[in-house]
Chains A and B, each alone.
Chain A
Amino acid sequence: MSIAFGNPDRPNSYIGKTVPRPNAEKLVQGRGRYVDDITLPRMVHVAFVRAPLAHARIIGIDAEAARAVKGVLRVFTGADLAEVCTPWVGVLAHLKGLKSPPQHALAVDRACWVGEPVVAVVATTRAAAEEAATLVEVDYDPLPAVTDTMTALDADTPVIHPDLGDNLAFRRLHEEGDVDAALANAHKVVSARFRTARHTGVTLEPRSILVDWNPAEGQMTAYHATQAPHMMQTVLATHLGIPESRVRVICGDVGGSYGIKVHVYPDEVATAAISRVMARPVKFVADRLESFTSDIHARDHEIEARIAVAEDGKILAIDVDDWTGIGPYSVYPRTSAIEGNQVVNLCGGPYDFANYRAQTTVVFQNKAPTCQYRAVGHPIAVAITEGLVDMAAAAIGMDPVEIRRRNMYADDAYPVTSPAKMRFEGLSHHASMNKLMEMIDYDALRADQEEARKQGKHRGIGIASFIELTNPSPFMYGIGGARISAQDGCTVRMDPDGSVVALSGVTEQGQGTEAMLSQVVAEGVGVTPDKVRIITGDTQVTPYGGGTWASRGAGIGGEAALQAARALRGSILEVAASMLQADAAKLDIRAGQVVDADSGEERMPLEELGRIVYFRGDTLPKDLPRELVQTRHFITMDYPFAFTNGVQASYLEVDTDTGVVTLLKHWCVEDCGRVINPQLVDEQIRGGIVQGLGGALYEEIHYDEDGQLLNGSMADYLVPMAGEMPDMQIGHVETPTGESELGAKGAGEAGTAGAPAAVMNAINDALRPLGAQVTEMPFTPERILRALGKIDD
C-alpha cells in the first residue's frame, strides 16, 4: 500500500507538514551536549604547535621548556606519532590523474602551510597545554612558498612535492560538440574573467574531538563533531591499526558543519593516536585561530569563460577555463579535486545547448588545504553561467528573464542528458521561473528600479537559475575506492508501550534530521511523531550509513526510514490480525491505534499489542511472526545523482559614492521534490542563501605572497551578521524523484548555490547604466568603487 501524498487529509499525514524538531527544546535551554561539554575521568587536553611558515624544513624540535610546565604530561613530534599512525593519501581512482603526497598526523620533516600541526603537547588542563605549546622551539629552514594559483605550473615556480614532478594535482577537460565552430559563427560572443574568493565555514562550534582508547576493552571511543561517523570509524581503525569493529564513533550535538566536519584532519587523527599511546581520554577543541588556519578552505577559483549566443538569444556554446589552488595536500578521503570537477559538471546546468567545453586545473600551493564546503562547486558554476547569460542578454538587448526562458530545458523534456553529461530525471525550470516572477512582481520591481534611478539611487535586480546535485550514489566517492557509504539504513522498532524508536545512519547537524525522521517514521508506522524517538550518530548502535553530506539525509536516510517504518507497520498488523481474528489488509494503524481501515473504528491500542507480544507471547499462535523490529537500507540506483533546480532573485541598492551594497530583499523558488517539513526546508534555504550572500559581499581569506594568513579572526574575516541581511521569501515547486516512494531530493545547498550569482547580477544590473561591471567576489566597496573608476591607485 503506497502513501496517498496527494491527499492532505489522509490518516497519519505527517509527511509534508511542519512538525516541531524533537531536539530543539534542549538546545534553547542550553542542555545540548557538544563535544566540549563532555568530561571523562582522567581526561587530558592536547594543544598543537603549528607551523609559522608556509613552507619549511623542520631541522630540530626542543621541547624541554614545554615539558617543565606544571601539568604537562607528554610532548609528541611527527616522528613519535608516525610510529603508531600510518599516513594517508587523498586520491580517488575515478578522478583520473589526481595525485597527492602522503600526509601525516603531525608534519614529520617538512611543514607545508601556516597552521599545519607540527608538535602536540598534552597536559592536564587546556591552559597548561597551550602555555607549554608556546615554549616549544622548532628550528625551521625556510623553503620557497608557492602561493599564486595561476603561476603554480610555470617552469620557474618551485615544485612543492618534488616526488610528484610538478604542482599539478588534477586536470580534467570535458568537450561536447564543436565549441570553436560555434564561437566563430555566433551572433555574439561575450567573455569574462570571474573570481571566487577563498572561504571557510566558520562553524560556531570549532572542530572538536574527544578520544578514549580503553586497552582493557580493546576499544576506542571517539566523541566527535562530525558529519560522517562511519567514515571516521574506518579512518581511525585503518590508520591506527585497530579492527574497525573496535572503533566506536559517537556524534552528539554538533555546532554547525556545512561540510567542514566531513573531512579527515591531521590534528584530530593525532588526538586519537595520542589516546592510543597514553591509554586515557584526550580532548582537542580548536581555538578560533586554529579554525581559520586548519579548517578546510574552499572556492578559491579563477575562471576565464565565454558564451556564444544567436540573435534570438539561444545559447550556442559555453567555454570555461577554471583554475583552483588547493593547498599542499588533497584532503583525505574525499579529495580536493571534487570542487573543480563539479564546476565542469555544473556549468550551463539549466540550459539546453549543444557545444560545451570546460577544463579545471587543480594545483598545489602552500596555503591551508581546500575541500568540500556547502554547495561544493555550485556557487562557482552558477556565478559563471548566470553571469555570462546576463552579459549575453545585455549584449543583444534582451531582458535577462527572457533569455533564460529561451534556453532553459522545457519542463516536459525529461529525462535529458546535459552537455556536461549530467542526467536529469525531472526538473521544473520554467514553472520555477514563473513562480518567481509572481513572487517578486517583476514588472513592479522594474518600475521601482526605474523610479529609484530618477532619484539617483542605483538599484538592481539579479536573477540566477541553478541546478543542485543531491542524493549521491556511489558514483560520487565509492567507485573511486573510498569507504564512504552512499547507502543508508534505518532500524525501526516498537517497544512494549507502543512507542517507536528509530535508529538512523544519517546524522543531525541542526538541519532537522531528527524531526524529518520522526515524521516519516510516524506516518510510515501510524503513530504521532511525539511517540517516535530518534537515535543517530553512534556507529555501535545505528545501521551503517554515510551520514550527512551532499544533501542526502532526507532523500536517502528518509527513504530508508520510510521503508523500515512500513515494514514495522506490516509486522504489527500481522500480529494484530491474529489477535483480532481479522484480515490484516483491512486493518490500519492510526495515531497509535489499530483500526478498521474502512470505518476507522478503533480495535486495539498499540500498547496492548505490545503487552501481549512482549509479556504474553504464550497466547499467540506458535508460528506467528512477531518481530517488532525492522531494518531497511536504501540506495539510489537509476541516476548517479538526484538533481534539483531553482531560481533566486536579489534586489539591492549600490551606493556609488561609498561602494556599499544594501540588500533590500531576496527570493528563492526551489524544487527539492517532496517537501517533508516545509518550515525546515525553508530555513535550510534561508540559511544557505545567507551563506551565499557572505561569499558575495564579505568573505575572503587573505594570504600574503609568503603564504601568511592575514585575517585569521572573526573580527577580520567578515561573515554575515543580522544587521546586513535581508528578509527572504521562499517558494516551492515539487517534482518528486521516482527513485523512492518518499520522492524527496536534497535542499541543503540550493541557497548557497544561487545567492552569489543573484547578487552579482543585481549589482551589475544597477551599475550597467554607469558602464561598470564586477565579477570578482566578494563585491567589497573597494572593488565596486574601482569598477566605477572612483579608485584607480
Chain B
Amino acid sequence: MTKVFSDKVDIALTVNGEPVEGRVPAGQHLVDFLRQTLGLTGAHASCEHGVCGACTLRVDGQAVRGCLMLAAQADGAEVWTVEGLTEQGSSRDLQQAFVARNALQCGFCTPGMIVAVEDLLARGGVPSRAEIREHLSGNYCRCTGYEAIVDAVEGVAQARAGKGAA
C-alpha cells in the first residue's frame, strides 16, 4: 500500500444501540466485522454475494445485505442485528411465532428472515400470503419449504394489526 491509499479505515457507528469504534480492513464486509470483531454471530455469512439473505441486517432503518456492504461504508450508521432486536424485545412476538409454528429447522436463515420480515411488517397492514412470499423471495430457506414461515408472519401481522386497531 502506498501512503496515499491506506488499507485500513477508521469507523464509528452504533450497533444495537451501543457506540462502536473500529479500524477495519478496507475490503472487510459489514457482516464479517459484526461477526469477527464484535462477536455478533447471529447474522450468518452464506452465499456472500447478496442472494440468500442469511446476513440480512437493519442499517439506518433499511434491510441490508451484510455481505454486500463494506464495514467502512457503515461509518456513522445505525446498525441492528438479531441480537439487538432480541434485547430490545421488538421482535418478541415474531420470534415466539417462529418457535410455535416451527418456522425454522436448522435456524441458519432465521436471523436474516426475522430482519426481513420486520422490514415488511413495518409497512403496516396485513400483507396477503402472496405478498409475504414475494417479500421473502430474497431469503433462502432449504429446510422448511417456507409455508410455516408464511404462517408465522401472517399470524403476527394479524395480531399486530389487531393491537393497533384496539
Contact = CB atoms under 8 A, between A and B. Distances in A.
Task: Please indicate whether A and B come from the same complex rather than being unrelated chains.
Answer: yes
Interface of A: 20-21, 24-25, 27-34, 36-37, 127, 201-206, 253-258, 287-288, 509-512, 679-680, 683, 686-691, 713-715, 719-723, 725, 727-728, 751
Given A206-B46, A721-B137, A689 B52 contact: no
B72 interface: no
A719 B142 contact: yes
Contacts of A509: 105-106
Contacts of A32: 41, 107-108
A673 B105 CA distance: 22
A490 B138 CA distance: 40
B150 interface: yes
B50 to A, nearest CB: 8
A255 B44 contact: yes
Given A20-B100, A24-B107, A510-B105, A30 B43 contact: yes
Contact of A725 (B54, B104, B109, B147): B147
A31 B140 contact: no
Given A30-B86, A256-B108, A725 B146 contact: yes
Among B27, B81, B99: residue with most chain A CB under 10 A: B99
B68 interface: no
Interface in B137-157: 137-150
Contacts of B145: 683, 686-691, 720, 725, 728, 751
A209 to B, nearest CB: 16
The interface centre, meaning the residue of A30, A253, A256, A727 with most chain B CB atoms within 10 A of its CB, is A30
Contact of A27 (B35, B107, B133): B107
Contacts of A127: 25, 27-28
Nearest to A725: B146
Given A28-B98, A722-B137, A714 B47 contact: yes
A27 B107 CA distance: 5
Given A253-B107, A687-B105, A204 B46 contact: yes
Given A28-B107, A683-B144, A691-B142, A723 B42 contact: no
Contacts of A21: 99, 102
A288 B142 contact: no
Nearest to B109: A204
A29 B81 CA distance: 10
Given A253-B106, A687-B142, 20 more contacts: A24-B98, A36-B41, A37-B35, A37-B41, A127-B28, A202-B140, A203-B106, A204-B52, A205-B106, A206-B46, A253-B107, A511-B105, A686-B147, A689-B145, A713-B51, A714-B140, A721-B140, A722-B137, A723-B133, A725-B146
Contact of B41 (A30, A688, A689): A30
Interface size of B as a range? 35 or more
Interface of B is mostly: loop
Contacts of A727: 129, 147, 150
7 contacts: A25-B99, A28-B111, A29-B42, A203-B106, A256-B105, A256-B143, A721-B140
Contact of B146 (A201, A253, A722): A722
Contacts of A687: 105, 142-145
Contacts of A722: 132-134, 136-137, 139, 141, 146, 149-150
Contacts of B142: 201-204, 256, 258, 687, 691, 719
Given A258-B142, A690-B145, A713-B49, A512 B133 contact: no
B95 A686 contact: no
A693 to B, nearest CB: 8
Contacts of A29: 42, 82-83, 86, 95
Nearest to A679: B102
Nearest to B153: A722
Nearest to A27: B107
**Chain A at the B interface: SS class:** loop
Nearest to B101: A679
A722 B99 CA distance: 19
A34 B107 CA distance: 10
A679 B83 CA distance: 27
B118 interface: no
Contacts of A253: 106-107
Contacts of B82: 29-30
Contacts of B27: 127
Given A204-B141, A512-B102, A723-B137, A30 B111 contact: yes
A686 B148 contact: yes
A399 to B, nearest CB: 29
B78 interface: no
Nearest to B148: A683
Nearest to B150: A722
A511 B102 CA distance: 10
Interface in B1-48: 25, 27-28, 35, 40-48
Nearest to B137: A723
Nearest to A689: B145
Nearest to B111: A30
Contacts of A720: 145-146
Contacts of B129: 727
Contact of A255 (B25, B83, B108): B108
Given A510-B143, A512-B105, A24 B99 contact: yes
A30 B145 CA distance: 21
B95 A204 contact: no
B148 A723 contact: no
Contacts of A258: 142
Nearest to B51: A714
Contact of B83 (A30, A34, A680): A30
Contacts of B81: 30
Interface in B106-142: 106-111, 114, 129, 132-134, 136-142
B151 to A, nearest CB: 9
Nearest to A28: B95
A752 to B, nearest CB: 11
Given A204-B142, A206-B46, A686-B145, A27 B104 contact: yes
B98 A287 contact: no
Contact of A510 (B45, B107, B134): B107
Contacts of A686: 144-145, 147-148
Nearest to A684: B105
A288 B106 contact: no
Contact of B104 (A24, A36, A202): A24
B111 A288 contact: no
Given A127-B28, A722-B133, A254 B49 contact: no
Contact of A28 (B28, B43, B104, B144): B104
Given A37-B41, A204-B54, A723 B106 contact: no
Contacts of A27: 104, 106-107, 110
B74 to A, nearest CB: 18
A288 B148 CA distance: 26
Nearest to A509: B106
A33 B106 CA distance: 11
Contacts of A715: 49, 51
A333 to B, nearest CB: 24
A24 B106 CA distance: 9
Nearest to A730: B147
A205 B129 CA distance: 27
Contacts of A254: 106
A201 B47 CA distance: 13
Contacts of A689: 145
A204 B99 contact: no
A205 B137 contact: no
Contacts of A205: 44, 46, 106, 108
Interface in B75-96: 81-83, 86, 95
B107 A255 contact: yes
A644 to B, nearest CB: 19
Contacts of B134: 722-723
A728 B147 contact: yes
Nearest to A202: B142
Contacts of A691: 142, 145
B146 A683 contact: no
Nearest to A721: B137
